Structure formats: structure tokens, C-alpha cells
Amino acid sequence: MDAVHVGRQPIFDASGAVVAYELLFRGRMDDVASGRQDTYATSTVMINAFTEFGIAEVAGNRPCFINLTREFVTGRLPLPFGPEQVVLEVLETVEVDDEVIEGITALAEAGYRIALDDFVWGSGHEQLLGLASFVKLDLLDGDLSRLDEIVAACRQFAGIQLVAERLETAEQIAIADRYGMELRQGYALSRPQVLTAPSLSPSRLRRLELVAALMSPDVQLEKITSIIVSDPALAMRVLRVSNSVAAGVVSRISSVRQAVMLVGLTRIRRWATLMVVDDVAEAPEEQLLTALTQARLCENLAQRFSADPGAAFVAGLVTGMGRLMGFSPEQMVEHLPLTADVSDALTHGTGRLGKVLNAVRAYEAGEPGSEDLAVPALDAMRWSTLTLTAAHRFNPKRRR
């Protein structure tokens, strides 16, 4: 089982209250510090925070500062989330030119809050002050001899808050106090925490197939839904996104199709594109086959118990994926935006969907009287095998 990680460092106000978090790339659980700030790192942070953990799990209702490389600033790679809970941090390594100014202007006009990271006067980033909500000043390695000048320049823009970063000593905290810097961040206050969760990654080819389908101007919702439900890990990510601020929805859902409708094809396209950039290891196919077969079997049995087939597929998918990831049904329900009938079926085995799940469990356990599920189970296995192996036909390297 793969694991995903994201670093989270609190940002405090002057009174010591946590008001935001900066999200950081971490490749391992013991990776307390990481200097990686490339496009891969940014993509991985976004994917992990929003689709593996869920942004509410990472930050509650506090805003998250996320580093942006030039590719995201200029729009060459899309941002898959809205402006509700993020602050876009323009890295000091981004060279400011007309294309960057145009990109930042568009993001600010779209409602995103902009932070200038490791701000240095004369680097070109002073051209962005009129668009910024936050300016981060390095009090450890920064040039403090020009601090008066820099703070005065920033104070000319009423909407800017100063963030004193890399605070490691009492003297540096005193400097932040002296200049009235509104926010503070650094080891003297809190070191980054590495959050870890088990993960099953969608197959790369399935992601590419999804992106390709989404590029068609007349793509049908049913086509997109069929691609997503064919990959359990991808379906779980879409369900998580539908529960996050990234999707901007608060509705409860009972099918993958409904989740796709709520998130919208535009944002599904952006997430899929980002997943292609996110170069993570592929999930073990035999594990995905088990989860997908269970979901399909539940869907096949739905009519027998007068249950909704889409909801039955989701209930089976969540059950199978939760088992693989080591989560109880209660934990899965807590982090997914499921309707009451799906939640009750998963946690209490009640209702029509509960009967479907109980019948599948009985068959898997070989209980007496469950033999009549052999035909729909065989169909589910055949469908799941064909679905997962279809991607191999033109990619012999992935055959096992």
C-alpha cells in the first residue's frame, strides 16, 4: 500500500492564534524539511491535500498557503480549485515579466488571494505589490538592513498583511513585533508537521484517457462517468473532491455520476490534468480488481433489493477501498459526502443498500444460502477484469 504525505506549518497572528497553514511538499513521513519547490512538488501538494486527505481534514476552515511555480502562475497548468480556502504563494524563483503579471492579475481578479514569498526589493516582485494580500519577509536570511524601506513600501498598500517568516529566535520575533507584522511563521513558533495517509493511485493511462475525453467539446457526462467508475482510486478521488472546498459544493451524493455533476466537468478536467503531472506510483492492480469487483457486484444486485444501482456501486466501492486502506466504514463515511442511505448502509447495514452489502459479504464469506450470487459475481469479476486490462492493450510494459 502506498502512502501520501503533505507538510503543514501553522501561520500565527500576533496574539499566537493559528490563522492559516502553509502546505509543503514532503516525500516521506520523516521528511521534516524539504527544499523541493518545482512543479511536481506543487502538483503533489495539491493532489494530496485536496483528493487524498480532503482539505477540511488538512486545515479545517482555515486558509492554506500553497506555493505556485511559473506554470501555474501563467495558467499553463490549471488551478483545479476555487479561491475560497487558498492563498496562492508566488515563489521568489518566479521571474516577473509581462506574462507573470498578466497571470497574477487574472488570478487576483478571479478572487484568489496572492502572497509574495521571500520578498526581496529589486527582484521584480515589487511590481506585484498592488495585487498582493500578503508579503512574506525572511527574518533569518533576508537583508534586514533594508527592512525599514521594504515595510514602508508595503504599508502604502492598505490591503497587504506582512508575514514574518523563518522566525527561529526571540530577537527575530521582537523584530516582527517592532514592525507590527500581522502574521508569523517559523521554527520558534512551530515546526512543520507531516501528515500521512494510505493511498491507491489511479492508473496513469486511465487519467490520460479521462483528460483526452474531457478535451472534446461535446463530451457526454456518461462517458466521463464510465471512465471514472472503471478506476476505483480515481472514483474515490472524485468523491473526495466533491466533499472539499475545491468543489464549492455542500450537497450529499449517492453516486459517482452525481459527484461528477456537482464538481463539474471543468474542474474534473483540471484535477485529471494535475494527476497526469503528479508522477506517483501506480496502484497494485490485483487490489483494485478486488475493490472494483465488489462495487460492480453491488451494482448488479441493486435491482434484486429495489436499491439504486449508482448508490449500490458507491457503497461497494467505499467498502472495498476502505478495507484496502485500513479504514473502518465509520471513518470512510466521516470523510465522504455520502447520502444518509449510503452512510447508514455502510455503518449499520440498514436499508435496501444495507441488504445489498450484507448479501455481498455473505457470498464472500461463503455463508450457506448465498450460492445464488455466483452468476452476478462472475459477471462482476469479468467486467472488472476487462475494465482494468483494457488499458494494457496498447501498453505492453504494464502487463503483469
Of 171, 196, 221, which residue constitutes the final position of a domain?
196
Regarding whether 206 and 92 lie in a shared domain, the answer is no
DSSP H or E stretch at residue 18: strand 18-24
Residue where one domain finishes, among candidates 179, 196, 213 = 196
Q: Which residues contact 200 (CB under 8 A, 6 or more apart)?
A: 1, 2, 232, 233, 236, 283, 287, 288, 321, 324, 325
CATH code, 76: 3.20.20.450
What is the structure's pLDDT at 136?
Answer: 96
Distance CA 356, CA 232 (A): 19
Contacts of 389 (CB under 8 A, 6+ apart): none
Residues 238 and 157 in one domain: no
- Please write the tens of the pLDDT for every residue from 236-278: 888 877 766 444 555 667 778 888 887 787 788 677 756 654 5
* 192 and 205 housed in the same domain: no
Q: End-to-end CA distance of the chain: give it in Å, rounded.
A: 18
Q: Same structural domain for residues 234 and 150?
A: no
**Residues facing 197 on adjacent strands:** 4
Burial 19-32 (b: 16+ CB within 10 A, else e): ebbbbbbbeeeeee
Q: At 393, is the pLDDT very low, low, confident or very high (cuts 50, 70, 90)?
A: very low
Q: pTM for the whole thing?
A: 0.62
Q: How confident is the model at residue 279 (pLDDT cuts 50, 70, 90)?
A: very low
Q: What is the DSSP string of 211-226?
A: HHHHTSTT--HHHHHH
Residues linked to residue 107 through DSSP beta bridges, in sequence order = none
* Whether the predicted pLDDT of 32 surpasses 50: no
Q: Does residue 98 sit in the same domain as residue 175?
A: yes
C-alpha span between 271 and 81 (Å, rounded): 9
Q: Are 298 and 312 in contact (CB under 8 A)?
A: yes
- Say whether both 235 and 380 belong to one domain: yes
Give the residue numbers spanning the domain of 338.
201-400
In a shared domain, residues 94 and 136:
yes
Last residue of a domain, one of 167, 196, 225: 196
- Residue 160: is its pLDDT beyond 80? yes
Does residue 97 sit in the same domain as residue 49?
yes
Q: Give the pLDDT mean for 64-71.
A: 90
Percentage helix, strand, coil for the chain under 3-state DSSP, each rounded to 5: 50, 15, 35
Please give the mean pLDDT across all residues of the chain.
81
Number of domains in the chain: 2
Beta bridge partners of residue 199, listed in sequence order = 2
Give the residue with greater pLDDT, 288 vs 316. 316
pLDDT of 394 reads: 32
Residues 206 and 191 in one domain: no
DSSP letter at 86? E
DSSP reduced 3-state for 282: coil
Same domain (yes/no): 384, 269: yes
Q: Domain containing 292 — which CATH number?
A: 1.10.3210
Q: Is the pLDDT of residue 334 over 50?
A: yes
Q: How far apart are CA 141 and CA 161, in angstroms?
A: 20
What whole-number distance in Å separates Cα of residue 167 and Cα of residue 148? Answer: 18
Residues 191 and 210 in one domain: no
Q: How confident is the model at residue 395 (pLDDT cuts 50, 70, 90)?
A: very low
**For range 361-365, the mean pLDDT:** 87
Same domain assignment for residues 205 and 186: no
* Residue entry with cell 523563518: 166
pLDDT value at residue 338 = 77
